[in-house]
Amino acid sequence: MAFKYLNGMAMAGIVYDAASAFVSGRTMLLEASGMSQTVFYIHAGLLIFTGAYILLRRRLRSSLPLIVVIALAFQNEIANHLAGRGQSNPEALSDIATAAFWPAALFLLMRSRKG
């Protein structure tokens, strides 16, 4: 096990490098798309929500795909913070809400339907 021999500083460097790589990749994708960050997060949330339904093979009333969207939105903000690109708490929470709004609306719509 390689991690057995790593000290705390080496592990912190690995986490920082992984977070930086994730944030850099996301930034390149955002710039290549030509979308604003808000529109990008809306589309990302819907894509993750749809992908989670397909991959997890859950019913439309299942809350698990919504939980996946929210968890990944938090992971995105944690990666921003670890990579040194963190925002203030209200801005980070706004990004999470932006990614989760439409998936939550679709989830609530499916839960409210009879049958």
pLDDT in tens, 38-49: 999 999 999 999
For the chain, give the mean pLDDT: 84
pLDDT at 43: 93
The three-state secondary structure class of 108 is helix
Measured distance CA(54)–CA(59) in Å, rounded: 10
| pTM of the entire predicted model | 0.79
Contact 60, 114 (CB under 8 A): no
Cβ atoms of 105 and 48 within 8 Å: the answer is no
Asked if pLDDT for residue 107 goes beyond 70, the answer is yes
pLDDT digits (tens, 9 = 90+) for 76-103: 888 888 877 767 888 889 999 999 999 9
Instruction: State mean pLDDT over 9-31.
Output: 76
Distance separating alpha carbons of residues 50 and 48, to the nearest angstrom: 6
